[in-house]
Amino acid sequence: ASSAALTRPGLGALASVVHGKAGWLAVGGVATGVPSRPVVVVSASGTRWQAAGGETAFAGPGIAVNQAAAGRSGYVIVGRQIIPARTVTNRTVVRGHEHVTSQVIPSRTVAAAWWSSRLTGWTRGAGVTAGDLAGTGSPQMVGVTAAGAGFVAVGSAGRAPAAWTSSDGRHWRRTSLGSPVGASAALLQQVAAQRNLIVATGTKTTATGTAPFAAYSTDRGTSWREVPLGAPGGFASV
């Protein structure tokens, strides 16, 4: 591997790697010792790597990437962005007198996705509606998989699990899942697909602590059902 692509200031890690029609993609981040920033590296052969995290699509504060997937339409990376607080100043003139008011817009977290057909020219994904990636509840994408011709991502919005579907990796629609039975919060972290069946797993917070949580969809991520998990050592039944 080329040192320029993988050696960075600060403490970093690669968290996900996939292979697709144009080669290999690995993603992670640098979070200790310097300002947090994503790490995106690509390779045609798997033996020599080039950095792609410097592309314009990854610019901006507070970006973190979690996982990548490769499918028929290309490559997808998912994560989140923490948009910092900002102050907006408004000036109005009434009867010749200027009035200045300031409004502080608090920081917020939005779900984020990036798409590329061949590991170059990355573009930022968008929601089908304004609330699909932004909205309330600090949404974040944690896991992603190719599903059919498109992609399915999972994560959370607020204290509830959430899922996103995309037919092309560029336009995303969010589906809110109800919190698991008896849980005060839940997060989906991994997702896999086989034909029309999609299975996602994560964790939920209950009155007695943290427990595993799973859900499945048979319509490519449009609707979901919780899987009742048995005691350790047993099998779940659908």
The predicted structure's pLDDT at residue 92: 84
Extract the tokens encoding 139.
Answer: 């949404």
The predicted structure's pLDDT at residue 35: 62
The predicted structure's pLDDT at residue 95: 77
Model confidence at 122: pLDDT above 80: yes
Instruction: Beginning with the edge strand found earlier in the chain, give each strand of the sheet holding 126-127 in spatial order.
Output: 126-127, 171-176, 160-166, 150-157, 140-147
Please enumerate in sequence order all residues whose Cβ is within 8 A of that of 13, keeping only pairs 6 or more positions apart, or say none.
28, 29
The overall average pLDDT reported for the chain is: 89
Model confidence at 47: pLDDT above 70: yes
State the pLDDT confidence band at 135, using cuts at 50, 70 and 90.
confident
Interval 224-232 mean pLDDT: 79
Extract the tokens encoding 127.
Answer: 């929601």
pTM for the model stands at 0.87
The predicted structure's pLDDT at residue 119: 97
145-200 pLDDT tens trace: 999 999 999 999 999 999 999 999 999 999 989 889 889 999 999 999 998 899 99
The predicted structure's pLDDT at residue 231: 59
The predicted structure's pLDDT at residue 220: 87
Please enumerate in sequence order all residues whose Cβ is within 8 A of that of 114, keeping only pairs 6 or more positions apart, or say none.
57, 58, 65, 76, 77, 78, 122, 123, 124, 125
The predicted structure's pLDDT at residue 167: 96
199-212 pLDDT tens trace: 999 999 999 889 99
Quote the CA–CA distance of 80 and 140 in Å, as a whole number: 5
75-106 pLDDT tens trace: 999 999 998 777 888 888 877 788 888 887 67
